[in-house]
Amino acid sequence: MITPMSRLETLKILQELYMYRSFGFTYYKKREIMPQKPNVSIPNSLDELKKNVHGCFLCALCKTRKNVVFGEGSLHAKIMFIGEGPGACEDTQGRPFVGNAGILLTKMIENVLKIKRSDVYIANIVKCRPPENRTPTPEEANMCRPYVFKQIEIISPEVIVALGGTSYRYLTGDESGITKVRGEILEYKTAKLIPTFHPSYLLRNESAKKDAYHDMLKVKALL
Ligand code: URA
């Protein structure tokens, strides 16, 4: 992907062109200036990764965020829940799933799976809040996804629960709707992946809760 040139890069090129002109050149051979991939190194420890993510300015979401929402939970979690991106409460507190959807997710974890929220790991595809809670764009997801992939690699959970269609699509690249794929047990990296409805959707659609409940029972059975 080709990213837009930063002001500094533009200035450097202009400076170089002025220098050539002062030497008498009238023609400048085009050369590859932009790296094809963003030059970002991804550390292998969660603490280092967190530091990197807190200093991330790779996409425009950094301009409107109050806080980066890296993710939280146990380093030894057997289950990882992955949402799409922080909402207003999460942006304010810098923690994932702490608003109304988070309260429901916590109930699903504690009342159905019968484990403490602090024993699982909770993260999102994008780590900064999309304005007005819109769906993260493919560009934003592409920039941020290496972080969630690294979180998965480090935590190495047995089961990953993709919360909602956006999370499922950006994790797998599969465009199928969540209604079609929810509850399936899929092979994903070294884990099983179970897509289910997003808790925000469940808050708006009471009747979908029983499906989500059955999905959670499948998660429980896998452990
Ligand atoms: N919705 C998400 O997808 N993630 C959060 O952290 C909160 C709400």
18-56 pLDDT per residue, tens? 888 888 888 776 655 544 455 567 999 999 999 999 999
* Residue 112 burial (CB count, 10 A): 16
Q: Say how many Å lie between the CA of residue 85 and the centre of ligand 1.
A: 5
Burial group, residue 172, by CB count within 10 angstroms (0-12, 13-18, 19+):
middle
CB-based contact 125:188 (threshold 8 Å): no
CA distance 43 to 194: 27
Look at residue 137 in the predicted model and tell me its pLDDT: 97
| Strand runs labelled E in the chain | 72-73, 79-83, 121-124, 159-163, 186-188, 191-196
pLDDT at 16 over 90: no
Say if ligand 1 is within 6 A of residue 90 CB: yes
Say if ligand 1 is within 6 A of residue 160 CB: no
Q: Give me the sign of the Cα torsion angle 117, 46, 166, 181.
A: negative
By residue count, the chain amounts to 223
Q: Say how many Å lie between the CA of residue 130 and the centre of ligand 1.
A: 11
Say if ligand 1 is within 6 A of residue 83 CB: yes
- Please give the class, per CATH, of domain 43-222: alpha beta
Q: Which of 154, 124, 190, 146 is nearest to 42 (CA)?
A: 146
**In this prediction, what percent of the chain has a pLDDT beyond 70?**
91
CB-based contact 196:215 (threshold 8 Å): yes
Backbone φ/ψ region at 156: left (φ over 0), alpha (ψ -120 to 50), beta: left
Sheet with 191-196, strands from edge to edge, namely 72-73, 121-124, 79-83, 159-163, 191-196, 186-188
Q: Say how many Å lie between the CA of residue 14 and the centre of ligand 1.
A: 43
**In this prediction, what percent of the chain has a pLDDT beyond 90?**
82
Name the residue with tokens 């029983």.
210
Confidence band of 3 (pLDDT split at 50, 70, 90): low
**Cβ density class 184-198: b for 16+ within 10 Å, e for less:** eebebeebbbbbbbb
pLDDT tens for 131-168 read: 999 999 999 999 999 999 999 999 999 999 999 999 99
Q: Say how many Å lie between the CA of residue 107 and the centre of ligand 1.
A: 15
CA distance 158 to 82: 14
Q: Which of 67, 95, 97, 120 should be mutated for ligand 1, with most atoms under 8 A from CB?
A: 97
Confidence band of 14 (pLDDT split at 50, 70, 90): confident
Claim: this prediction has a pTM higher than 0.75: yes
Going from N- to C-terminal start, the domains of the chain cover 1-40, 43-222
